[in-house]
Structures are given as structure tokens and as C-alpha cells.
Amino acid sequence: MTKTALITGASRGLGAAMARQLAATHHIIAVGKTTGALEELDDAIQSAGGQATLAPMDITVDAAMQQLCRSIFDRWGKLDLWIHTAVHAAPLAPAGHIGPKDLSKSIDVNITATARLIGYVGPLLGQVGHAVFMDDPQAGKQFFGAYGATKAAQTALAQSWAAESQNTGPHIHIVTPNPMPTATRARFYPGEDRSPLASPTDEATRLLSSLPI
């Protein structure tokens, strides 16, 4: 039976790169807000002989995530792997000048949606499935208040889940990607020389090879 991998944040960057690599061994369930990018991912997966199910959804919409997880259960009965790369990168700003909308969206995407998904996806993973989260230690750095705080909270949620699941499963992994020339990084470092940065494809290879999945 083909393994299944849910990738939240699969439209571009590391999520898309991981989806392409995992498609050799998994049926990919690709979640993202950009339909065109998901269709490009699907074309790449199909051209390599893999299969994908596209889910153009916003992870902050609770009803959509409930429907997605119910559909996964109805079709496959379980999930083998969940990789969570979705994140909101709020614009850099001094701590006292963070826009209310930027802070609210950061909390909704990076914390609230992640906590909700743990509750929905966990039962699909059962005792033997794997979940993978991306750490990005920016907390406490100047101008990174909204992103750094909410990304750190997302990682803390994953760490708590890992501790709680240590003896019962599923298996929770937290990895730290090297800097990549992604749209998220470009928002933080405009004009940066991107040539020394690792490609998402190389990082996907490195990170996936380090995981017991």
C-alpha cells in the first residue's frame, strides 16, 4: 500500500522541494493557498511518475482543515507522514511598532493553526506515523518580534507534542533548515546576496535523509 505524506505549505520553497522528493515513495497531499503553484508541483510530481492530491486551502480556516483530515481518513484511513512548512513571515518592525494585523496573522498561522492541526492530524498518524516541524531560531533578534515570537511558539508546541508522544507515538521531529533563497527570507533580507544560500532541493535532500521515515 502506498504511503501518504501531508505537506502543509507545499506551494513553494522547502515544502514543494520535499513534496517532489517524497513523491517517489509517497502519495503527496499538498496543501497551499496558491493554486497555480500547486498545479506546477503536481505537474512535476506526475512527470516523475508520482501522484499527488492538491488541497488549495488556507490552514487558518478551521472547517477546511476538518474537511481535509476527514477526507484523508475516508480515502486512506491513516496518514504516514506530516511535514509542516507553512509559516507567516510578518514584516520586520521594532517591537513597539508591530502592526496589529501582522501580529494577528502571525498568531493565527504560526500558533493557532499549528495547534489545531496537531489535534486533527495526530489521530491520523496514530502510533507509528511521523510529523516534521521546521525550527527557525529568530526569537529575540532585533525587528523579528512578530515572526520570532510566534515561530518560537510553534516550535514549543512541537516540542511539547514530542515529549507527550515519546512513549506512545506518533514520532515527532524538529529540524533546522539552513538559510535558503525563499520568498520568506527575501522579505527579511531584501537585496541579500543569495548565491551562498542552500537550495531548497539540497535542503530537502539533507533533511529527509536525516529522518527515520
Order the strands of the 130-134 sheet from edge to edge.
Answer: 52-56, 26-32, 3-8, 81-84, 130-134, 171-175
Q: What is the dihedral of CA 188, 10, 18, 24, to 10 degrees?
A: -160
Q: What is the arithmetic mean of pLDDT over 125-143?
A: 97
Whole-number pLDDT of residue 2: 87
Q: What is the dihedral of CA 29, 34, 38, 40, to 10 degrees?
A: -170
| Domain annotation covers residue 107 | yes
Segments forming the whole domain that contains residue 70:
3-206
pLDDT at 204 over 90: yes
Whole-number pLDDT of residue 129: 98
DSSP state of 210: T
* Cα–Cα distance, 110 to 117 (Å, whole number): 11
| Domain annotation covers residue 211 | no
Tally the domains of the chain.
1
pLDDT at 1 over 80: no
Over residues 92-132, the pLDDT tens digits come to 999 999 999 999 999 999 999 999 999 999 999 999 999 99
| Domain annotation covers residue 108 | yes
| Domain annotation covers residue 138 | yes
| Domain annotation covers residue 212 | no
More confident residue, 1 or 154: 154
Angstrom distances, CA of residue 105 to CA of 89, 93, 120, 184: 9, 15, 21, 15
- For a pLDDT cut of 90, what percent of the chain falls above it? 96
| Domain annotation covers residue 134 | yes
pTM of the model: 0.96
* Cα–Cα distance, 149 to 141 (Å, whole number): 10
CATH label of the domain that carries residue 190: 3.40.50.720
| Domain annotation covers residue 213 | no
Whole-number pLDDT of residue 22: 98
| Domain annotation covers residue 176 | yes
Enter the C-alpha cell of residue 180: 535558503
Over residues 156-199, the pLDDT tens digits come to 999 999 999 999 999 999 999 999 999 889 889 999 999 999 99
